[in-house]
A and B are shown apart, each in its own frame.
Chain A
Amino acid sequence: MNAEDEPIAKDEFVLRLIWRDFFIDGVPPKISERAFRPRPDETDGISVFRESCLSDPSEVLNVIAETKREKYGIVRLPVSELLAMGLSVESSKIESLSGHAVVPELNIVALHIDAKQSQKLQNALAEIAKNNVIRKPTS
């Protein structure tokens, strides 16, 4: 396991929580681009978690209220693919879990300034994510 102070390497993977309504089961599943839309308070970028800082991907569920955890899926995104899209991943420590990071380009201010570009990026991430589902929502 990596310490979260270590720089984020190109060959790492990041994990993203996907709310169940943004997920349709299938082969491959469908994931809505809305799963990558910044929340109103995400001025610093959407949240991801460095898999290398966790002992198991399901640990990311620990940031969610316990009663809601089964309503989330988890996808794995290669950092190299994010970089290839012109995105970046920056460490953003939180108390509850090691390895929290953000994708700064996908922030709520950028969405309001250029919705077209933000939605294009969200859609591209959804396309990557649908082939990299490691946990489906169970409720």
Chain B
Amino acid sequence: MWSNIDLELLNQLPKKSINGANADSPSWSRVASVLAGFHQEYTEDDWDGQGAAAISYAVIEWASEFAKSLETRGVAAPLWTVPTFESSVVFEWDRLDGSSIEIEITSSLSTVVTEKPVDKPLQNGTLAGGVTVP
């Protein structure tokens, strides 16, 4: 499904560290576990007790496949794997220079990349030539 992830995007994501991982480092197994939990908890309306709209199975599956694909390409696990109130799933990585990058799998199964430089003047938008939705 994600065999054609854009190389430009891959190059922006932190890579797995051979020696830098410790018990507190994010892991892909944790990401998989978190996403499995999303199936249980976030696929019905009002999942947060404050009226949040459900996240579709398709979005969660899409996010899971995307995560697997990133893992196999040597990308480090994201620090954050979160549901949103817009029925999407977001992955976010902190980078060594203090900046961060976020990838959102939207409810329409598109992918939006947001870079957050250190001083936080953000540049929003889908990456040019970015992930191709099959």
Show the binding face of A for B, using Cβ within 8 Å. 19, 21-22, 24, 26, 30, 32, 34, 37, 39-41, 63-65, 67-69, 71, 115-116, 119-120, 123
Contact = CB atoms under 8 A, between A and B. Distances in A.
Contact of A116 (B50, B92, B121): B121
For chain B, give the interface size range.
20 to 34
Contact of A69 (B49, B84, B120): B49
B49 A21 contact: no
A62 to B, nearest CB: 11
A30 B85 contact: no
Contacts of A22: 80, 82
B85 A37 contact: yes
B44 interface: no
Interface of B: 24, 34, 46, 48-53, 79-86, 90, 92, 114, 116, 120-124
A84 B49 CA distance: 32
A contact face: mostly helix, strand, loop, or mixed? helix
Contacts of B124: 115-116
Contacts of A63: 50
B29 to A, nearest CB: 16
